[in-house]
Amino acid sequence: MAQARVGAGRSGDLIAKRDGWPFPRAPTLPYGTKEMERAVTVEHLRKTYRDIVAVDDVTLGIDTNEIYGIIGPNGSGKTTTVEILQGLRQPDAGAISVLGLDPWTQGEELRRRIGSQLQESALPDRIKVWEALDLFATAAGSHRRDWREAARQGGIYDRRNAAFANLSGGQRQRLFIALALVTDPVLVFLDEMTTGLDPAARRVAWDLIRAVREQGATILLVTHFMDEVEHLCDRVSVFQQGRIVVTDSPSGLVRKHSGGRTVRFSTIERDLGWLSRVPDVESFEMEGDHVVVRGTNAVLAHVGAALVGHGITPPDLRVDMPTLEDVYMGILKDNGA
Amino acid sequence: MRLLAKLSWVEAKLFLREPLALVFTFAFPFFMLIVLAGVFGNEIEADDEEFLRVWRGVGPTDYYAPAYVALVVASVGLIALPLRMATYRERGVLRRFRAAGFSLPAVIGAQVVVAIALVIFGSIGIACAARIFYGAMLPVAWPQSLAAYAIGLACFCAIGVALGAILPTARAAQGAGLILFFVMMMIGGAGPPRDVLTGAMRWLSDPLPFTHVVLILQGPWLGQGWDWSSFWIVIAFTVVAAAVSVRYFRWD
């Protein structure tokens, strides 16, 4: 569904060059009403802690109503970048605009309009769920929603009278999401939102994020999980050692970085030299009865047709497609950690 | 303003749900006063010159009543406020508040509002207890006593926020706060009377803010006039502590 909303423009080739400003033209709004504006623009952002470079020349742009992912190993600069975008840290260099505001000098105004779920943050142990929601709604000023509504949306309403210390990990995350939504935000930052959630709870959180986007918000999602990117994000930037090594749609990443496919089957037939002449096949090898064919694109279809043509019908013919996870690990490896 | 009011209300409820802080603000000064008043009573030995000098010419419990009112003030400034702020910083609560658009004046203001409310509550309790159970004096000069009380309260709020700004962790805040609290209590005027302290103890006690808060409060309370030199020292502590708070406060 997310892909349907995205439209053709989003699948553009957005491999970020390190000095790659300006970006490809912003995609058009799904409803075709007006040109989409960018919710976030970052140019040549740099941040160092003493002599450690945390973020090194990061340039990115997030479209309004987009779900934008940031993924990367620990210490790759994801959280620092997101904290700078919220005005919680001062950048050393770079031009940043978030909702048209400068996060560092206009931070308080900005933070009333965004929703934020921070990594490694907490609430006082004895604060009750409803008190926290009510308080955060008050902080949002005129942008606030009724806390009950946000609590129901976050699935934490039933625990509204529980103290923070007595919530389970999953309930805490749900509360943080509800707190991010109680401000009726136009832009939501979610930093490792589903870490510590069980698989079912993660799905619930994903549905919630989609629902928030449907209401018109833009979402920046920092994550360790490629499946999260695959299910939610329109585009994703892979961070490594403080730099963006690639930015693309999840499907574009797989298409461009997946390398080949591997077709496997078993046969007692030994004379398979003709395989190398089948279209899209690059190489093959035999290990006893087991045959491994490497190739590209439609290699599975071509190999299947050729096998049938030669009277061979292996019951275990299958193809290994690289997952987004494989692609991600491959990108990290190629860029040399 | 709405946020400050709501945050203060929530913080007050949180404080009441936290037994340890309540002990130091309410139970401990009360307990100490009962022990000291029980030991020394409140009789004036009018023909004993040394007694008159040590107890400033009033009964021992008269002497201690303003000192223990001041101790309630100090307990919040030295223990409750820094501990709360350092804990919030260490656990990421301040970060969380900031990311949600809480302003610094609202966050600090709520802590100070709650501290003031608790202190007033505790002080009235101590003064009433000393009066009812031991017949201790109520303030002789009410306006000056209230002024001295307000100044002492401002001083320890500023010190509390400054300690909360400087001390990095809850553990550090608890350790430093308790040490400062007990040292100030024992040699600052809520333990043995100043007059019986040894030279070294008095030398240590002179630069403590608590000593001078006790002195500016005892003066008008016991009808012995305003202590200007202590007043200026308390003002100086307040200004320095406020400057330290502004300079060194960190959200994370």
Could you tell me how many residues make up chain A? Answer: 337
Residue A299's CATH number: 3.30.70.980
Q: Is the peptide bond before B29 cis (omega within 30 degrees of 0)?
A: no
Query: Measured between CB atoms, which of A126, A134, A136 is closest to B17?
Result: A126
- pLDDT at residue number A33: 37
B216 three-state secondary structure: helix
CB of A59 less than 8 A from some CB of B:
no
What sign results for the dihedral spanned by CA atoms B59, B62, B68, B70?
negative
- pLDDT at residue number A32: 36
- Is A331 within a domain? no
- pLDDT at residue number A332: 86
- pLDDT at residue number B165: 94
Under 8 Å CB-to-CB from B32, ≥6 apart: which residues?
B68, B71, B185, B190
The residue range of the domain holding A281 is 260-321
CB of A138 less than 8 A from some CB of B:
yes
A243-248 and A235-240: which strand pairing?
A: antiparallel
| Residue A107 shares a structural domain with residue A190 | yes
| Single residue among A207, A228, A256 that ends a domain in this structure | A256
| Residue A79 shares a structural domain with residue A186 | yes
CB of B88 less than 8 A from some CB of A:
yes
- Is A133 within a domain? yes
Under 8 Å CB-to-CB from A255, ≥6 apart: which residues?
none
- The answer to whether A267 and A314 are in contact (CB under 8 A) is yes
Distance, in Å, from the CA atom of A17 to the CA atom of A15, rounded to the nearest integer, reads 6
- pLDDT at residue number A291: 92
CB contact under 8 A, B100 and A122: no
Residue entry with tokens 């490629």: A226
Distance, in Å, from the CA atom of A164 to the CA atom of A174, rounded to the nearest integer, reads 12
| Residue A188 shares a structural domain with residue A63 | yes
Q: Containing H/E element for B141?
A: none
CB of A116 less than 8 A from some CB of B:
yes
CB contact under 8 A, A134 and B6: yes
| Single residue among A256, A285, A301 that ends a domain in this structure | A256
Residue A158's CATH number: 3.40.50.300
Distance, in Å, from the CA atom of B4 to the CA atom of B95, rounded to the nearest integer, reads 17
- Is A61 within a domain? yes
* Minimal C-alpha gap between A291 and chain B (Å): 56
| Residue A43 shares a structural domain with residue A121 | yes
- Collect all residues of chain A within an 8 Å Cβ-Cβ radius of residue B3: 135, 138-139
Q: Which of A188-197, B49-58, B70-79 has the lowest mean pLDDT?
A: A188-197
Could you tell me how many residues make up chain B? Answer: 252
Distance, in Å, from the CA atom of B190 to the CA atom of B112, rounded to the nearest integer, reads 24
CB of A173 less than 8 A from some CB of B:
no
Query: Measured between CB atoms, which of B13, B95, B100 is closest to A139?
Result: B100
- The answer to whether A257 and A263 are in contact (CB under 8 A) is no
Task: Quote ipTM for the complex.
Answer: 0.86
Neighbours of A296 (CB within 10 A): 13
| Residue A187 shares a structural domain with residue A242 | yes
| Residue A216 shares a structural domain with residue A307 | no
- Collect all residues of chain B within an 8 Å Cβ-Cβ radius of residue A86: 99
Distance, in Å, from the CA atom of A71 to the CA atom of A228, rounded to the nearest integer, reads 10
CB of B250 less than 8 A from some CB of A:
no
Output A41 or B1, whichever has higher pLDDT.
A41
Residue entry with tokens 């290990």: A287
Sheet architecture: strand order including A187-191: A114-117, A187-191, A218-223, A67-71, A235-240, A243-248
B167 three-state secondary structure: coil
CA A50 to mean position of chain CA atoms: 29
The domain total for chain A is: 2
| Residue A178 shares a structural domain with residue A307 | no
- pLDDT at residue number A337: 54
| Residue A111 shares a structural domain with residue A223 | yes
Ordered by start, the domain boundaries in chain B are 2-248
Distance, in Å, from the CA atom of A293 to the CA atom of A265, rounded to the nearest integer, reads 9
Q: What is the pLDDT along chain A (337 residues), one digit of tens a residue?
A: 334 433 333 333 343 333 333 343 344 334 333 345 789 999 999 999 988 999 999 999 999 999 999 999 988 999 999 999 999 999 999 999 999 999 999 998 899 889 888 887 789 999 999 999 999 999 887 777 889 988 998 889 999 999 999 998 888 888 988 888 888 889 999 998 887 778 888 888 888 889 889 888 999 999 988 889 999 999 999 999 999 999 999 888 887 777 778 899 999 888 888 998 998 898 898 888 899 998 887 889 999 999 999 999 999 999 887 788 888 888 888 887 5
| Single residue among A208, A235, A256 that ends a domain in this structure | A256
